Structure 1
Amino acid sequence: MKLKKGDLVARPSYQCDLLFRVVELYSDYVELVGEDMRLIADAPLDDVVLVSEKDRSEHEQKAREIEENSYKLFRQDAKLMKQRGEYEVTSGYKSEIDYFELRGRVLHIDGDPLYLRKCTELYNKLGVPVYGVHLHEKEMPEQIGSLLEMVQPDIVVVTGHDAYLKGKGSEDDARSYRHTKYFAECVRIARKHAWHRDELIVFAGACQSHFETLIKAGANFASSPDRINIHALDPVYIAARVSLTSFMDRISLSEVLRNTITGEKGLGGIETKGVMRRGMPFKYEK
């Protein structure tokens, strides 16, 4: 079996439960990233098998169904939030007032270029303004400060791939994780830029990331409380919920996590306000 970068593979030692993309090839092992999950892993060459076209097609179909269900739930909640907003702006529908919305701007920094593209497409589909940047996780702390100054976002997402490395030490030690330390450093830098947690909303983490470290560093939302894998699109649903929620309202943690694909075992956070602001009158462009 001759492998090349970009091949879709599975690992028999894990019952082929996840699909991975090959990102690096070495003499006796390969570096893999999850096709849908934000996981990074090394695997010996004898524990990697190519995925057949049939299995790939079936996987893509199941993945689409999962993503579409989450999108549908999010749109239902977004519609209810918009109706509540219209009710408040029009004084209980007593007057006809045209208004506009200033939705929260997202700076999304991603360690995976393919995931960044998928996330950007979803932000656009949800009507959330976004500035996306691909950086390797190790480079993120060096670049985030200048990006924050340039973009001036309301929300920043720092994500990519991560994994707990058993050989490095205890699960309770943040140093035992491949990229948690870089995500945490980014959060600390972001907090120097805006120390108040309602002034700049921060999401940080990927698969199996050390949740407690990221929250203590200053994140509003993070992964992964139960050290499980999270879906590539989960950070988008959290950031979008914040972007579309009025600054007068608090984010319901149970509702925002319900709309993610992974849920509360993979994602968590603290009480946080929305960032969207309504205004009037609405001026049509001529």
Structure 2
Amino acid sequence: MDNGVSDFYKMGVIGGNILMTNLKIGDIVARKSYDYDILFKVTDIVVDENNKRTLILKGTNLRIIADSPESDLTKVPLNKVNQFNKVFSKKITHIVKNILKERKENYYRSLTRSALEYSRDSNHFGRPGKVLHLDGDGEYIDVCLKVYEQLDIEAVGKIVSEEEQPKVVGKLLREYNPDILILTGHDSIIKGKDDFVDISNYKNSKYFVESIKEARKYEPSMDELVIFAGACQSFFEVMIEAGANYASSPHRTLVICRM
């Protein structure tokens, strides 16, 4: 499945007589050149010396930061945004149900015959690991915590910017003693840089690496503490070398959920 915005456009939910100029911070918009594939909130407006406006955008449902000329944007009215959010939420619920179903089926397959009857009687499917998740975006943390709850995963979410994560991760690990550490945020290759093996050419990769190293001081075992780290276009290799079990992004790709 795709994320549904393009389908909304085809059905007339997005498009028609919708404002395309005089956009302001807080407006919800979609990009014409990308076939209205993602909904964004305008978070900033930059005006150059020629009075040309470039809008800084943040995905409303998908984790992405972008910029766009105002001429490429279509404003989406609130009632249409609400319609899209309902469709998006249904898709998330469907995915969560499938994950829970698969988890249950995998657990039963792993049981011996002698344990199977006991497990069915006790309704016990094992305890997922406890998660500590750090990210600088409070809205994103809230979304993640809701999904963790749906998946019956014990989780603690903390709003911590990428550059602050190395300073606090050790303290938070000692405080919450998680099984899984997740370090996320935003990252990118700095514009105009083409040396992908120089960590200084990445916006936030160095902070993820420092955080991983601090976490491994707390727990060196990659089995006792599983670490997920990185963001769009992060320097994947150095995070794995630093001690992450899983990292993004192997091909410097944008990590965007497609459902």
Distance in 2, Cα, partners of 1:110 & 1:192: 20
Q: Contact 1:90–1:96 at 8 Å: present in 2 too?
A: no
Comparing 39-48 with 104-113, greater Cα deviation is found at 39-48
3-state SS of paired residue (1:137): coil
Equivalent of 1:77 in 102, 113, 128: 102
Secondary structure at the counterpart of residue 195 of structure 2: coil
* Residue 120 (str. 1) matches residue 145 (str. 2): yes
TM-score (norm 1): 0.68
CA distance in structure 1 between the partners assigned to 2:118 and 2:78 by the alignment = 58
RCO comparison, higher one (Cα < 8 Å, 6+): 1
Corresponding pairs, count = 232
Find the residue that maps to 2:163 and give its secondary structure.
Answer: helix
Contact 1:159 1:205 in 2 (8 A): yes
* 1:141 and 2:161 aligned: no
Task: Give the aligned CA root-mean-square deviation in angstroms.
Answer: 3.1
1:150 corresponding residue in structure 2: 175
Partners of 2:229 and 2:119 lie apart in 1 by 42
Matched with 1:229 is 254
| Superposed displacement of residue 173, structure 1 | 4.1
Counterpart in the other structure of 2:189: 164
Q: Secondary structure at the match of 2:41?
A: strand
Question: In the TM superposition, what is the alpha-carbon distance from 1:13 to its structure 2 partner?
Answer: 4.6
Deviation at 1:137, TM superposition (A): 1.9
Give 1:53 shift.
Answer: 4.3
Q: Which residue of 2 aligns with 1:220?
A: 245
Structure 2 CA distance, aligned partners of 1:225 and 1:216? 13
Percent identical among aligned pairs is 36
Task: Decide whether the 8 Å contact of 1:230 with 1:262 is kept in 2.
Answer: no
Cα distance, 1:96–1:262 mapped onto 2, change above 3 Å: closer
Asked if the contact 1:106–1:128 (Cα under 8 Å) also holds between the matched residues in 2, the reply is yes
Secondary structure at 2:117 match in 1: coil
Q: Which residue of 2 aligns with 1:207?
A: 232
Say yes or no: does 1:19 pair with 2:44.
no
Q: Which residue of 2 aligns with 1:10?
A: 30
Runs of 4+ residues over 6 Å off in structure 1: 94-97
Residue 214 of structure 1 and its aligned partner are, at CA, apart by 2.1
Q: Residue 93 of structure 1: SS of its match in structure 2?
A: helix
CA distance in 2, matches of 1:97, 1:58: 42
Larger Rg: 2
Find the partner of 2:117 among 93, 96, 113. 93
Runs (5+) with no aligned partner, structure 2? 1-21, 48-52
- Which of 33, 37, 59 is residue 58 of structure 2 equivalent to? 33
* Residue type at the aligned position of 2:129: G
Specify the alignment match of 1:192 in structure 2.
Answer: 217
Match for 2:151: what amino acid? L
Q: TM-score, normalised by structure 2?
A: 0.75
SS in 2 for 1:202: strand
How far 1:211 sits from its partner (Å)?
2.2
Say whether residues 1:103 and 2:128 are aligned partners: yes
Can you give the 5+ residue segments of structure 1 that lack an aligned partner in the other structure? 232-260, 264-286
- State the Cα distance separating 1:26 from its structure 2 match: 4.0
Give the alignment of 1:175-190 within 5 angstroms: 175-190=200-215
Q: State the match for 2:5 in structure 1.
A: none
Contact 1:168 1:175 in 2 (8 A): no
Contact preservation (8 Å) 1:39, 1:206 = no
Task: Return 114-123 or 98-107, whichever deviates more.
Answer: 98-107
Deviates more, 1:194-203 or 1:221-230: 221-230
Alpha-carbon distance, 1:116 to partner: 0.8
Could you tell me whether the CA contact under 8 Å between 1:41 and 1:163 is conserved in 2?
no
